[in-house]
Structure 1
Amino acid sequence: MGEDKGLVDYHGLPQREYLYQLLKGLCDDVFLSVQEKQLDEVPSGLKTILDQDKFKGPFNGILSAYEAHKDVAWLVLACDLPFMNSEALQHLIELRNPKKDATAFFNQEMGQPEPLACIWETNGLEKALKFLEDSNNRSPKIFLMNTDIELVKPKDEQVLFNANLPSDHDFVKKKLAE
Structure 2
Amino acid sequence: MSAAPIFGLLLSGGASQRMQRDKAQLSYAGEPQLLRAWRVLSAVTERAFVSVRETQRHDPLRAQLPQLVDTYDAVGPAAGILSAQDAYPEAAWLVIACDLPRLDEATLRTLIAARDPAKDATVFTSRFDDLPEPLCALWEPSSHARLKARYDAGSYCPRKTLIQSDIVLLPAPGDALDNINTPEEFAQMQRQLESQP
State the TM bucket, normalised to the shorter chain: over 0.9
- 1:6 equivalenced with 2:24 (yes/no): yes
Cross-structure match for 1:77: 96
Of the candidates 180, 183, 193, which is equivalent to residue 166 of structure 1?
183
Alignment-mate amino acid for residue 161 of structure 1 = D
Query: How far apart are 1:38 and its partner, in Å?
Result: 1.2
Query: How far apart are 1:122 and its partner, in Å?
Result: 0.4
More helix as a share of residues: 1
- 1:150 equivalenced with 2:165 (yes/no): no
> Matches of 1:22 and 1:42 in 2, distance apart?
20
Query: How far apart are 1:42 and its partner, in Å?
Result: 4.0
Query: How far apart are 1:11 and its partner, in Å?
Result: 4.2
Alignment-mate amino acid for residue 179 of structure 2 = N
Query: How far apart are 1:27 and its partner, in Å?
Result: 0.5
Q: What is the TM-score of this pair, normalised by structure 2?
A: 0.84
> Matches of 1:46 and 1:142 in 2, distance apart?
30
Alignment-mate amino acid for residue 25 of structure 1 = A
Name the SS for the 1:31 alignment partner. strand
- Alignment check: 8 A CA contact 1:104 1:118 kept: yes
In terms of mean alpha carbon deviation, does 158-167 or 34-43 score higher? 34-43
- Alignment check: 8 A CA contact 2:124 2:170 kept: yes
> Matches of 1:11 and 1:112 in 2, distance apart?
32
- Alignment check: 8 A CA contact 1:30 1:47 kept: yes
Where does 1:12-51 land on structure 2 (aligned, <5 Å)?
12-43=30-61, 45-51=64-70
- 1:105 equivalenced with 2:124 (yes/no): yes
More strand as a share of residues: 2
- 1:94 equivalenced with 2:79 (yes/no): no
In terms of mean alpha carbon deviation, does 50-59 or 70-79 score higher? 50-59
Name the SS for the 1:77 alignment partner. strand
> Matches of 2:163 and 2:28 in 1, distance apart?
31
Alignment-mate amino acid for residue 143 of structure 1 = T
Name the SS for the 1:151 alignment partner. strand
Query: How far apart are 1:171 and its partner, in Å?
Result: 1.5
Task: Provide Cα deviations, 1:81-111, integer angstroms capped at 9, x if missing partner.
Answer: 1110011111111111111111111112121
CA root-mean-square deviation: 1.5
Name the SS for the 1:160 alignment partner. coil
- Alignment check: 8 A CA contact 1:6 1:79 kept: yes
Cross-structure match for 2:80: 61
> Matches of 2:25 and 2:102 in 1, distance apart?
15
Structure 2: runs of 5 or more not aligned: 1-18
> Matches of 1:152 and 1:39 in 2, distance apart?
34
> Matches of 1:60 and 1:101 in 2, distance apart?
18
Tell me the matched-pair count: 176
Q: What is the TM-score of this pair, normalised by structure 1?
A: 0.92
Name the SS for the 2:80 alignment partner. helix
Cross-structure match for 1:137: 155
Q: Identical aligned pairs, as a percentage? A: 33
Alignment-mate amino acid for residue 28 of structure 2 = Y
